[in-house]
Each structure stands twice: as C-alpha cells, then as structure tokens.
Amino acid sequence: MINFIAKNVSGLTHRAVSGKTYIYWYGYIIIYVIISLLLEKPEGMIMSAAGQVKGSLSGLFNARSIAVVGASPKKDKPGNQIIRYAQAMDFDGQIYPINPTQKTIEGLTCYPDIMDIPGRLDLIVLVVGADECVRMAREIARRRDEKGDVAGIVVVSGGFSEGGSVKGGEKEKAMLEPLQARSIRLIGPNCLGIVDQYSGVNTTFDVPPYIKGGVSVVSQSGALAASFLTWAKDMEQIGISKFFTVGNMADVGVDEAVEFLGEDENTKVIALYVEGIRQGRRFVEAAKKVSQTKPVVAYKSGRTSFGSGAVRSHTGAVAGNDRIYDGAFRQAGVIRAATIAEFFYTVCAMGKQPLPRGNRICVLTVVGGPGTICIDALQATGVVEMARLSDGTKEYLKEILAPTAVVGEPHGYVDLTASVTKEMHEEIVRIILADEGVDGLIYLNTPPPFLSDEKLVESILKGYNSFPEEERKPLLCVLTFGSNVSGLRLLFERGGIPTMEFPDVAAVVMANMIRYSEWKNAHKTFK
C-alpha cells in the first residue's frame, strides 16, 4: 500500500521538481503515510491512490440528514419529486427542502439557505442550474469550514462537461474544487444520484422505494439504471441494496463505486452499466478484488473502433478499444453481457441462485421446442457440457414418467411431455438435482393453464428446497408465456427461483454463472 502510494506520488513530483527537492518530498510523503497509518484515521476518510485524503462514500449512503437545494412546491418538477421519494422511503432522518421563496414543501419546513439548517447536515442534493451549483459548492465549503459537517453532495443538474463544451467543463471544475479541497465527495453531476434501501436515503426523482435485497446497480446512465429496476419490479425479480448513478464522474467514478460496493455487506451482486471508464487500470484492479467475493455483471456500450492516433501495427489494428475492454473485464472476473437481456437476467439469477460448481447442465422441459432452443444455445456458449445422468437417475425417471417421455437423449435432456402432473415435479426436480453428474438445471414450461400455479410452484420448490442450502445447485426457470403468466412467475421469484421468458437467454445466463464460478475458483485467495 505504502509502496503504491509513494510510487504514484513520487511519479507526479518527479517531473516537477529538482533532485534534492524530490528526495525531500519523497521523505515527506513516506513520513506522512506512516504517521497517518499509525495515528487513527479520521472517521470516514480514505486514502486515494494519489495519496490525497478523500471522504468515504458511506457518509453519503448513510446520511441521517439530507438537504435538497432547488426543492419545488410544484408536483411536475424534479425538485418536488425528489422530496416526495425521499419522504416515501423508510428513512427516519431529516429532510430539508431549500427554497428561499417557500415556507413549507410537502409538509416539510423549508429553509432559505443551507447555512440556516440547524444541527448536522450530511448530504446535499443540488437540483438548480449549473452556475448556481458552482455558487452552492462555495457555500457548502463555507458550511464545512464553519460547522464541520456535510459528507458529500449529489448534483442532479446538467450543463457541465457532458456536452463537451469548454465552458461546461470549466464549471464542473469550479464546482468540484472547493469541495475536493475539503474532502467533501461529489456524485455526478448530471445523474439521478443514489438510493440505499437499507439506510433509506433516496436522492432520485425516478426511483420510488423498492424491495430490499442483494443487488446493487452502478450506472453511467440514470435512465438505464431506473429502467433496470422497473423491469424487475412487478415480478420481484431483484431486491436492491444500493442504486448508484455516477453521471459525469467529476469526482466519484465507476472504479470507486465498484470498490465501495465490494465492501458493502448488503450487496451480493453488482450490476454495472458503463459507457467508458476513465481510469481503466484502476477499475480493473478494483473489480478484480471485488470479483473474488461477489460477482460484477457489466454491460459496456460504445463499441466504437480504436481511434487514438495512427495505428500502424497489426496489434493496433485488431485491438479496438472494445476488445481491450473484453480482455480487461475477463482479467478482472467481470462478467460482460453481450445484450441488455443477458445483462438483466444474469443479475437477476445471480441475485437469487447459488453458483454452479461445474459446467454440466441438465435441461428439464415440458415443451419440446423451447427445450431444443435451450440446448442449442447452451452448446453455443462453448462453456457448457450437457450433463450425463447416472443410470440410476435415468431408470428411476423412466419408471415414474409416461412412456412418451425422453430421458437423457441427447445427454442432459429430459422431456417430460405434457402428461406430467404438477405433483410429479417435486420428485423429478429432486432426483435430477441429486445426481452427482449435474451442476445446474434449467426447467422449461409454457405452462399450460390446466396446471395450477400454486401447486406447480409448491411442488418444484419442495424438490429444490429438499437440499440443505450449501448443497443447492442453480435452477433457472423458463416460462415462455412470459408476462402473461406473471402471477406464476411472481410465486417462483418469491420462492427464490429466477424466471425468464426466453430459453436462449436462460442458457447464456447459466453459462455466465459457470464462467464466473470458474474464475472465482481460479482466483481463490487463501487466508
């Protein structure tokens, strides 16, 4: 750690100062680092790679008091929606609308200025114009100097570097500068901000309260992240720990976000949407560490060609920035999804199911076509091996199933046909999952209306839950009637079984789980 910090800081000073001064600075930095390691660190402070002291992000996510600058009494304004979503959360801290023209907003006492807020203030949300944000940053700095509070701010407003204009970039810098000098963290600008389902903090105008769970979303696009949550909401496909949109990443980037969520006990899976990573190498280092304990599933857009300078070698011509991302993600254990459907469902499945211990997968179907599609897609992934059921399993299944049923032909394929009853599912699921040659199971059905929802789910769950938790294998459920059987899917989801509508997507999701499991085993850290 010291070596790393020292190396980087000395790298910076090396170019700027003469030899003697350089040694002086080097010594100073080492002493500084040793002292700060010996002395108790200031609460909530972390050291960045550049040796600069940064405030911890937990001060924002665990804020007990939130001020919203630009709070509005009008229902059709983001500055009003933010207040209402903040109130709707399970949050027992203080919410302070800031607006010099109002006495109250949504029943809350309104303050003219952040300096007027009594008691401790942890988090400030800015929903005002860019110029006003720059002024507010200085005001926030003044509050920190006088009262010693404010861990960080979320800047929802746009009008900064995202447009690519010089002016916008300058405003962003001007806003950041007084905050950075005081270790006040900034999320955004140009973002939805953050939600923490456990602490009850919500700075967004787009994410109403959600079910608690183990999925955390990090995104450069607020709209995609909010959509992600919305897709999963009705059928309870995921539960959320933290929602983290980074916007222009003036201060907090995806690397730090992923690192932070890696440490978050409530986060079991990280869903990451990125368009570009500024500090690629730092991201890989952070993600690699996180991947050793929990999966990071990513969708990376912007697959444009590599355009930095004249490319004269083969390596340069073949590279393309996108393929380097591919390699970097693989190196870091990050699962890169090729499509948004794959991204979404991989996160859903990993949020609920254990990892497969091997790559031998069985397809259990009631319907022929979707079963075949699933097998094709499994084979195409290149990582899946179709499970060879033991003779005992095959004989037993043949005994209890109708003569029309197909068992283990081809390997790893069991077609129950429509003659199967819901009660039989329990035994079938149990016997297949108990087979030592099976590492994971995909169940497919339409299902026909004559099978009762409750009974079918109950039967499958009984079979699945007959194993102790540590022995469980992943089970994915494909219901090709999709949202038309949302009631049935909700029952499965509540029982912890992820559902999807497309058989090929389920195959790719299973392959992702296998890949991650393999990566994790190869990168086991021995303690």
Which residues of this chain interact with another protein, rule CB under 8 A?
A: 7-8, 11-12, 15, 49-50, 276-282, 284, 308, 311-319, 321, 323-324, 326-328, 330-331, 522
CB of 364 to another protein, least distance (A): 31
CB of 11 to another protein, least distance (A): 5
Please, which residue, 135 or 323, has the CB nearer to another protein?
323
CB of 316 to another protein, least distance (A): 5
Helix 453-465 crosses helix 486-494 at what angle (to 10 degrees)?
20
CB of 490 to another protein, least distance (A): 39
Beta strands in 48-99 (DSSP E): 53-55, 65-69, 94-98
Distance CA 403, CA 425 (A): 16
What SS3 state is found at 360?
A: strand
Please, which residue, 135 or 281, has the CB nearer to another protein?
281
The backbone region for 514, taken as left when phi is positive above 0, alpha when psi lies in -120 to 50, beta otherwise, is alpha
Distance CA 206, CA 233 (A): 13
Distance of alpha carbon 14 from the chain centroid: 38
Please, which residue, 142 or 278, has the CB nearer to another protein?
278
CB of 274 to another protein, least distance (A): 11
Please, which residue, 12 or 45, has the CB nearer to another protein?
12
CB of 90 to another protein, least distance (A): 38
What SS3 state is found at 37?
A: helix
201 close to 195: Cβ distance less than 8 angstroms:
yes
249 close to 273: Cβ distance less than 8 angstroms:
no
The backbone region for 360, taken as left when phi is positive above 0, alpha when psi lies in -120 to 50, beta otherwise, is beta
Q: Which residues pair with 243 in a beta bridge?
A: 195, 217
CB of 341 to another protein, least distance (A): 23
Please, which residue, 185 or 300, has the CB nearer to another protein?
300
CB of 353 to another protein, least distance (A): 25
SS (H, E, C) 127-184: CCCHHHHHHHHHHHHHHHHHHCCCCEEEECCCCCHHHCCHHHHHHHHHHHHHHHCCCC
Please, which residue, 127 or 328, has the CB nearer to another protein?
328
Number of residues that make up the chain: 527
Distance CA 43, CA 38 (A): 14
212 close to 144: Cβ distance less than 8 angstroms:
no
Please, which residue, 209 or 320, has the CB nearer to another protein?
320
Please, which residue, 327 or 369, has the CB nearer to another protein?
327
CB of 524 to another protein, least distance (A): 12
CB of 311 to another protein, least distance (A): 8
CB of 252 to another protein, least distance (A): 14
CB of 220 to another protein, least distance (A): 14
347 close to 269: Cβ distance less than 8 angstroms:
yes
With tokens 């860019």, the residue in question is 130
Please, which residue, 2 or 88, has the CB nearer to another protein?
2
Q: For the beta carbon of residue 437, count every other beta carbon within 10 angstroms.
A: 16
Please, which residue, 10 or 465, has the CB nearer to another protein?
10
Q: For the beta carbon of residue 16, count every other beta carbon within 10 angstroms.
A: 9
Q: For the beta carbon of residue 525, count every other beta carbon within 10 angstroms.
A: 7
Query: If we measure between CA atoms, which residue out of 265, 267, 263, 328 comes closest to residue 298?
Result: 328
Q: Which residues pair with 54 in a beta bridge?
A: 46
Please, which residue, 11 or 27, has the CB nearer to another protein?
11
Please, which residue, 255 or 493, has the CB nearer to another protein?
255
